[in-house]
Amino acid sequence: MIKLAKYLKPFAAGLVLCVLLLFAQAMCDLNLPNYMSDIVNIGIQQNGIEGASPEAVSESGMNLMTSLMEEADQEQVLNAYTLYQPGSNPELEQKYPLLQQEAVYVRNTLSEEELQWVNQKFGVATWTLLNLMDTFAGQQETQDNPTATDLSEGDAANLAALQPMIAALPEETIAQARGKAEAMPESTQVQSGAKLSEVFYEELGMDVGAIQRGYMVKTGAIMVLIALIGGVATVMVSFLASKISAGVARALRRDVFRKVESFSNQEFDKFSTASLITRTTNDITQIQTLLVMGIRMICYAPIMGIGGIMMALEKSVAMSWTIAVAVVVMIGLVMIIFSVAIPKFKKIQKLVDKLNLIARENLNGLMVIRAFGTQEFEKNRFDEVNRELTVTHRFVNRVMVVMMPMMMLIMNGINLLIVWVGAHQIEASAIQVGDMMAFMQYAMQIIMSFLMISMMFIMVPRAAVSGDRIQEVLTTEPEIRDPENPQQFEENKRGVVEFRNVSFRYHGADEDALENISFVAKPGQTTAFIGSTGSGKSTLINLIPRFYDATKGQVLVSGRDVREVPQQKLHEEIGYVPQKGILLSGTIASNLRYGKKDASEQEIEQAAEIAQAMEFINEKPERFESEISQGGTNVSGGQKQRLSIARALAKHPHILIFDDSFSALDFKTDAALRKALFQHTGDSTILIVAQRVSTIMKADQIVVLDEGKVMGIGTHRELLKNCPTYYEIASSQLSKEELE
């Protein structure tokens, strides 16, 4: 699987861009709960007032607040504000109407650190005031002794009345109240300070409702913008991931197909056709699916998980154990599911191979199945594998289905746990409501990140199995390869085929299929091969185009050992007609031009004429442009053979090989074709494998094979006299008069 990573190199820039976009999306998603928390804490609970220090406060209000601070802090706080007298600044008078009658302190432009320090001092002063008011509440209430209830109603006059009472208190009492205030959480200090600032703003004549609306609109707009940025990043990542995965799948299919094209028959014996089809389609689709999902999840989930943990800890360290519980439970669940499901993935791919094999055999052998009436047997055979595949799939799916409800149970349980713990934290003034809500969202993001990672752990093993199967094809080196130092054919021996003491044994066989074969086939002559079934005729022919390589000896074409020349050059010398006529989808003309793309109309017509195919071609309305269906199923066996012969002839090769290519022809057509063949291919070396003696009677030399050995070489008449094996074959097919 890792070895296939090289296919991602052309898309390195796209992958880097995906990571950057995913990081941007994660940052957007991680910041949204923060803004939601601000809307609850500041927008709703604090009426849009962000800090504990008011942006403006009346002179009496400032005197009250500074009287609650330490002497060392009072001067610094006053330096953070400027005192404006009535009539000094018309613009500020419109903003703060109280300035028209009284002096007002307006906060200067401060750095973030300075503002945080001032907010902290005002927050402590606010809680110092609240603690002192609790002290006053314990005393006998009089008209001149306001209570905390009076303060909550926002009466600035009550605050002003408190100042002389506070001034009369001993410094020790104020210091004690201040000490308790400093022990309060900062968030609680800020929230209480903001409430007191609201009282000061009302005293100034400001519209507090407008402040709240402005804050809500501003924060909401930021959230919409962040969501849009995250959405754009998501769309772009999806586009890039689809492009990358499709590109990798295309490259894999291309390389697998090219590798299969280079396979010799030896490799095809190792990999079944059904397995190669599955590897080229289903297995590569598994890799593509992993990439399109993985590019997003593998990068996004860790960022969200780690970022969510950091954000959640920032909101509340005390509640972090709830997330730890969720993660531990989730990891345990995923490990149990994986241990059960992963072994089934490899079995599924093998069953898909087997199912494809049976389906392919049934489609190719449908006529034979019907002829022998074995439809029920084949149905049962297919149904058996299909049921096994279904049961395995069903088992895996049932295991996977358990994950989602369990995850939902964990998520809902964690939500309840966070609410329960968070309620106690809010009661103790440790956190605010908005922080608890944000913590819940971060907990969900963390759980979803682990869910995404677990999904990848489900997909990766199955894709890894597919990757190994693809890699097995790509790393298989064909036994038949082009030479490192290729040689050229000898012009003076063009078309000569020579076997020198050739022996051949199939891989894993106990004995040779061919043994010590020697003969020479020359241009302008016809060399025929005949023998009983299994005598090695087709095996011998297959050694010439290097479908197999000889185990011993040499096969020479045009004066060179076939292993010393490039396969492409070798195949250009040869026109090959296999036992089974194979046509490709297209037209008659495209099939005849398959070996020579630039063949003219006259050349393909002449080839069809020699092959005795013009009769049925002329009967078709579109003649050479008539459609040929896949596998040539819309033409008869004889027509298919004649078109296959015409295809080889149109190439004008130096060597023509006919591997029992006249078996589907009637005697009349066979005779006419052979006569035309000998008339028009006088310069070519013709090699014919035949079962019928009548087909090869006029050959210049006949090679008789039996059990892989040469029993005789000569003309028809010579072999009748000198080769008992040939005489036996001929006498079984011809009458006594025909033999003579």
167 burial type by CB count under 10 A (0-12 exposed, 13-18 middle, 19+ buried)? exposed
Give yes or no: residues 370 and 517 share one domain.
Answer: no
The CATH number of the domain holding residue 408 is 1.20.1560.10
Considering the domain architecture, whether residues 439 and 298 belong to the same structural domain is answered as yes
> Where a domain ends, among 181, 206, 231?
206
**Residues 692 and 529 sit within 8 Å (Cβ to Cβ):** no
pLDDT digit string, tens, across residues 64-90: 888 888 888 888 999 999 999 988 888
CA distance 567 to 560: 12
pLDDT given at position 268 = 74
- What is the DSSP code string of 477-507? PPSS---SS--PPPGGGTT-EEEEEEEE--T
Retrieve residue 27's tokens.
């940052």
Boundary (domain end) residue, out of 474, 503, 535: 474
AA identity, residue 132: L
Which residues, at least 6 apart from 106, have a Cβ–Cβ distance to it below 8 Å? 55, 56, 81, 82, 84, 92, 96
pLDDT one-digit tens code per residue, 393-452: 888 777 777 777 877 788 788 888 888 887 887 777 677 777 788 888 888 888 888 777
The pLDDT mean for the chain works out to: 81
Report phi then psi at 128, rounded to 5: -65, -45
Among the listed ranges 12-26, 243-257, 567-581, which one has the minimum average pLDDT value?
567-581
Helix (H) or strand (E) run with residue 647 in it: helix 637-650
Taking the C-alpha atoms of residue 585 and residue 591, their distance in angstroms, rounded to an integer, is 8
* pLDDT for position 619: 80
> Which amino acid does the sequence have at 136?
F
Cα distance between residue 722 and residue 30, in whole Å: 94
Residue 195 lies in a domain: yes
Tell me the pLDDT tens digit for each residue of 162-176.
Answer: 777 777 778 888 888
Distance CA 259, CA 584 (A): 21
Note whether 23 and 77 are same-domain residues. no
List all residues 6 or more positions away from 175 whose beta carbon is below 8 Å from its beta carbon: none
Relative to beta strand 552-557, strand 526-531 is unpaired
Is 429 exposed, middle or buried (CB count within 10 Å of its CB: 0-12, 13-18, 19+)? middle
pTM score over 0.85: no
Under the banding of pLDDT at 50, 70 and 90, the label for residue 738 is low
Residue 480 maps to a domain: no
Q: Does residue 97 share a domain with residue 226?
A: no
Rounded mean pLDDT, 128-151: 57
For the four alpha carbons of 690, 695, 700 and 706, in that order, the dihedral sign comes to: positive
Q: Does some domain include residue 682?
A: yes
Kindly indicate the confidence band of residue 151, based on its pLDDT and cuts at 50, 70 and 90.
very low
Q: In this structure, are 136 and 265 located in the same domain?
A: no
From residue 527, how far is each of 213, 451, 519, 566 by CA, in Å? 100, 71, 10, 25
For residue 146, the model assigns a pLDDT of: 40
Cα–Cα distance between 1 and 3 in angstroms, integer? 5
How many domains does the chain divide into?
A: 3
Instruction: Return the minimum-mean-pLDDT range out of 99-103, 234-238, 508-512, 713-717.
Output: 508-512
Measuring CA to CA, which residue among 90, 110, 107, 108 is closest to residue 99?
Answer: 90
- The domain boundary, picked from 149, 171, 206, lies at 206
CB-based contacts of 696, cutoff 8 Å, min separation 6: 526, 528, 530, 688, 690, 702, 716
Residue 155 and residue 235 in one domain: no
Report the SS3 class of residue 556: strand
Same domain for 496 and 413? no
Whichever domain contains 724, its CATH number is 3.40.50.300
Does 486 map to a domain? no
- Asked if residue 44 belongs to a domain, the reply is no
Phi, psi of 545 (to 5 degrees): -85, 10
Same domain? For 199 and 280 the reply is no
**665 DSSP 8-state letter:** S
Asked whether the predicted pLDDT for residue 185 surpasses 80, the reply is no
Across 263-289, average pLDDT: 78
Statement to judge: residues 340 and 448 lie in one domain: yes
Name residues whose C-beta falls within 8 Å of residue 526's C-beta, 6 or more positions apart in sequence. 678, 686, 687, 688, 696, 698, 699, 700, 701
Please write the tens of the pLDDT for every residue from 221-230: 999 999 999 8
458 lies in the same domain as 515: no
- End-to-end Cα distance, the chain: 69
Say what the pLDDT of residue 228 is: 93
In a domain, 142, yes or no: yes
**Same domain, residue pair 23 and 79:** no
Is pLDDT above 60 for 144?
no
Q: β-strands 526-531, 701-706: how paired? A: parallel
Angle at 499 between CA 497 and CA 505, to 5 degrees: 130
List the domain range (segments joined by +) for residue 102. Answer: 50-206
Residue 506, in any domain of the structure: yes
| Angstrom distances, CA of residue 339 to CA of 333, 334, 399, 458 | 10, 9, 11, 10
Residue 675 lies in a domain: yes
- Residues 190, 238, single domain; the answer is no
Any residues with CB less than 8 A from the CB of 370 and at least 6 apart, and which?
Answer: none
